[in-house]
Amino acid sequence: MEDGKLTVRAVERALDILLCFAESEDLSLTEIASRVGLHKSTVHRLLASLEGKGFIIRDPASERYRLGFRIWELSANLSHSDDPELLLLPEMERLRDQLGETVSLYVRDGMERVRVQAVQSNQAIRRVAPIGARLPLYVGASSKVLVAFAEPEVQQALLQDPAWPKAEGDAAAAYRQQLEEVRSLGFATSVEEREPGAAAVAAPIFNRAHRLVAALAVSGPSNRLTPELMREHAPLLMEAARRMGKMVK
């Protein structure tokens, strides 16, 4: 039994190492050890195993690590025509070209939202949105959409979770009022709620069964994406979300 626990722990640690590369192209042994909170000797052994299986590549000159080709072999099996993040990409590009700002697609995962697809703005000063980024669910336009339009039991569980920062008192009442407004308007906005200098407007994507599947967001610098402009953009955003929903099962 103890051997089994050790084996599972090793797998979890190896996966933690791979997840370090979600936002970094290459990393040193020291950087990886710091991120996963393990001793360098332990990380070195795990990296050697991952390298042996092709999941990690080490540059012998710089001694830095990056993802190996085996990762891409696995990810290729995700690239089916019915994957929403691929299926909706042309519509996202179209919206980006219409509005000139970065367009992102988010889904809810527990108490977080995950950016599963993004089309970057072509403007020199823009909001860069890395795919795979995990963000808190209690702040930001996309988060409001994912909570406001969630199934009642899901929404209730989120708002009653002790970890929810706005679960009690006046903050809870104000937040619930915000969610009501989002449901009424059909979209949500945020200005510098999570990141200074950034603004976003988001709308829900419902599939053909009218089930919420994602939040579609347009984001950019707050001095360019003003509250007035976001309200002007909202009808185009909601129309794009409606078209996308027809494509998703």
pLDDT digits (tens, 9 = 90+) for 14-68: 999 999 987 778 999 999 999 999 999 999 999 999 999 989 999 888 999 998 8
Residue that the structure tokens 């209690």 belong to: 138
pLDDT in tens, 91-117: 999 999 999 999 999 999 888 899 989
Q: Which of 189, 187, 206, 201 is nearest to 244 (CA)?
A: 206
Measured between alpha carbons, how far apart are the two ends of the chain, in Å? 43
DSSP assignment of 76-93, as one string? HTT--TT-HHHHTHHHHH
Per-residue pLDDT at 1 exceeds 50:
no
What per-residue string of b and e applies to 86-111 under the rule 16 or more CB within 10 Å gives b? ebbbebbeebbeebbbbbbbbbbeee
pLDDT digits (tens, 9 = 90+) for 122-180: 888 777 778 888 888 988 999 999 999 998 888 888 888 877 776 667 777 888 899 99
Locate tokens 């332990």: which residue?
42
Per-residue pLDDT at 80 exceeds 70: no
pLDDT over threshold 70, residue 3:
no
Question: Is 117 in a helix, a strand, or coil?
Answer: strand
So what's the pLDDT on residue 168? 65
Q: Where are the beta strands (DSSP E) in 137-197?
A: 188-191
| Amino acid letter for position 35 | R
What pTM was estimated for this model as a whole?
0.69
Distance CA 123, CA 119 (A): 12
What is the structure's pLDDT at 5? 62
